[in-house]
A and B are shown apart, each in its own frame.
Chain A
Amino acid sequence: MASHAIDVHDAQENYLEVKGRWSGIFAWIFSTDHKRIGILYLVSIAAFFITAATIGIFMRLEQLTMGPTLMSPDTYNRLFTLHGVIMIFLFIIPGIPAILGNFLLPIQIGAKDVAFPRLNLLSWWLFMIGAILALLTLFLPGGLPDTGWTFYAPYSVRTGSEVSLAVFAAFVLGFSSILTGLNFITTVHRMRAPGMSWFRLPLFVWALYATAWVQILATPMVGITLLLIIFERIFNIGIFNPAQGGDPILYQHLFWIYSHPAVYIMILPGFGVISEIIPTFSRRTIFGYKLIAFSSLSIAIFGSLVWAHHMFVSGQSDLANIIFSFLTFFVAIPTAIKVFNWVATLYKGSIRFEPPLLFVLSSIFLFSIGGFTGLMQATLPINVHIHDTYFVVGHFHYTMFGGTIWALIAGILYWFPKITGKMYNKKWIYWAWALMFIGFNTLYGAMMYMGWKGMPRRYYDHLPEFHTDHVIATVGSWFLYTGILILVGTLLYALYRGAKAEANPWGGTTLEWKTSSPPPLENFEKEPVVEHEPYYHEEAIR
């Protein structure tokens, strides 16, 4: 005999105040409310980020002197592996979709929640289980994996470190990502409010939609790859083992078929955040809405055609090298289209300079540096020289960190008042930004430079000719880390002592700004009816 109470909430209550079946921590970890799930991700992902960033600090400390500084070479290998695994699988890939996407997607399309709320909670649980499994390797005899986050065969099959468990953890995390993508696609197709046609969707939703497709289509490829590593380690099914007729280059194909599109899973949502913030702080509609929407889809498609540009020196055929190099140049085009449209939006706009805009502009700048160096690496002759050097490390930090993460920060700063109902101290954010910007460019600029000169990556030690560069980079890392801590501290302070925020502090025009800060449990008092395009500013300057 089931008993259901009709529980109609008080109209004034927001989602943080609502009392449901559970209380305390359980009200969070058993909640199927997409907003709470977004915050669960925010807290866990922030913790993982700080952990991995701290590991980065220690890696840089090791490079402060030539020869041993703090640790053995073996420990260094395990640290850079863990740094990569956490940053990629536990931070950047889930990052924007899991935190901002979960919180905002339903609200931006006028829905009450996602299509499958319980599946959404399962996604977070799988995420946490994957994280725990990965960290468990620390406590087992083999210890943390020492293969690099790329787990290349044959070393990953032969090494005594706990690769099977680490790789299984990544498998579980992939599953979490897939379920989120599945949820988002169904939500966008099925749950848009009346009047919300496809071309009235906010561009953040377009970005999340394109990303979700990549999550669905690419992630299973790394799933099977990781399973095969486990099969090889445990059952001796030597599919990549030359002694059994196997080909390690095929491992690389399978691995990068996912891992390259993965970087588009990372950046596309970031571009979506930028596309939201720019019209708001230009007080005018976005320039080239359809172009930007379609460019998200194009990036998703083109990005799936270029994976073997990670393999130019692996031993694959010359024809493959030429074809993948050629295809890689194309990927730049849709991204350039976005940048031009953003700039065109700012032009003749009525600019309000606020922290979210500052981080957006920085993100575009930093990503562009990363993007240009990407084009350089797509060029075969250059690639031969800089493959596996710090040039690559600089490149991907400029794109993934400078591009995606600075956009994530911009998004958090933009939607912080909506999510929490509080406002932060803007001056402290500007100080954090300054430290971060100087530190970032010092650290990764130095890396690009020494990589160009030939400093190999994943090396525990370095030659005297690179020593100065390493010291500069390490000092840069201190500035960057300090800036990040100030940023996080400012936001934490605002959570508890911040001023109350209004419903629409920035003058945004998308649906989330038409409901209270924080929103009610079902997002809107009344289901919204959409009547015009998303960035319609009434006092628009044309």
Chain B
Amino acid sequence: MSHHSHEEVHGVGYGILVLIWLGLVVLTGITVVVSGVHIPAIAVLVALLIAATKSTLVVNYFMHLKYESRIFKIILIMGIVTIAIFIGLTFFDVLFR
């Protein structure tokens, strides 16, 4: 597969980047406030979901993944699946001792 040395370097745009940052700040605020509300059962789940949302924003826009070719998305998904397997299978030990 041949490739050219002068490829299009696609940018995202200053405005979008600042907008995403605002979203991240808001989500941070939400997660701090929500942690004050005592619902222990789902507290971890909510915290992790918000963290995952923030990460998705960082990955897609700051790290440009949304605009990259498919292989990059596959690389990240391989990583996430691997992590899920490692932690998930270990639960079968620790949760059931």
Contacts and interface: CB of A to CB of B under 8 A. Distances in A.
The CB with the most chain B CB atoms within 10 A, among A253, A305, A320, is that of A320
B80 to A, nearest CB: 11
A323 B78 contact: no
B2 interface: yes
A320 B85 contact: no
Interface in A365-412: none
A257 B1 contact: no
Given A189-B71, A190-B1, A308 B96 contact: no
Interface stretch (A75-83, A125-133, A274-282, A311-319): A311-319
Contact of B93 (A194, A305, A316): A316
A217 interface: yes
Contacts of A191: 1
Judged by DSSP, the binding face of A is: helix
Interface string B64-76: 0000000100000
A190 B3 contact: yes
Given A194-B2, A304-B85, A305-B85, A217 B79 contact: yes
B92 A320 contact: yes
A305 B78 contact: no
B14 interface: no
Contacts of A257: 86
A287 interface: no
Contact of B78 (A217, A250, A253, A316): A217
A192 B97 contact: no
Nearest to B83: A217
Nearest to B91: A320
Nearest to A307: B89
Contacts of B71: 189
A484 interface: no
A450 to B, nearest CB: 31
For chain B, give the interface size range: 10 to 19
A217 B1 CA distance: 26
Interface string A235-274: 0000000000000011001000100000000000000000
Nearest to A252: B93
Contact of A318 (B89, B90, B95, B96): B96
A324 B82 CA distance: 16
B20 to A, nearest CB: 28
B96 A319 contact: yes
A175 interface: no
Given A192-B1, A305-B85, A253 B79 contact: no
Contacts of B96: 317-320
Given A190-B1, A194-B1, A305-B85, A319 B78 contact: no
B2 A308 contact: no
Interface string B49-69: 000000000000000000000
Contacts of B79: 217
A308 B78 contact: no
Contacts of A315: 97
A221 B86 contact: yes
Contacts of A194: 1-2
A3 B80 CA distance: 47
Given A316-B97, A317-B96, A323 B1 contact: no
B89 A213 contact: no
A305 B95 CA distance: 18
Contacts of B89: 305, 307-308, 320, 323-324
Interface string B6-20: 000000000000000
Given A308-B93, A317-B96, A217 B3 contact: no
A115 to B, nearest CB: 11
Contacts of B78: 213, 217
A319 B71 CA distance: 37
Contacts of A305: 85, 89
A253 B90 contact: yes
Contacts of B94: 250, 317
A318 to B, nearest CB: 7
Given A190-B3, A192-B1, A194-B2, A320 B82 contact: no
A175 B94 CA distance: 30
Contacts of A190: 1, 3
B1 A249 contact: no
Nearest to A322: B92
Interface of B: 1-3, 71, 78-79, 82, 85-86, 89-90, 92-97
22 contacts: A189-B71, A190-B1, A190-B3, A194-B2, A196-B1, A250-B94, A253-B90, A253-B93, A257-B86, A304-B82, A304-B85, A307-B89, A316-B93, A316-B97, A317-B94, A319-B92, A319-B93, A319-B96, A320-B92, A323-B89, A323-B92, A324-B89
Interface of A: 189-192, 194, 196, 213, 217, 221, 249-250, 253, 257, 304-305, 307-308, 315-320, 323-324
Given A250-B94, A305-B89, 11 more contacts: A213-B78, A217-B82, A249-B93, A250-B90, A304-B85, A308-B89, A317-B94, A317-B97, A319-B92, A320-B92, A324-B89
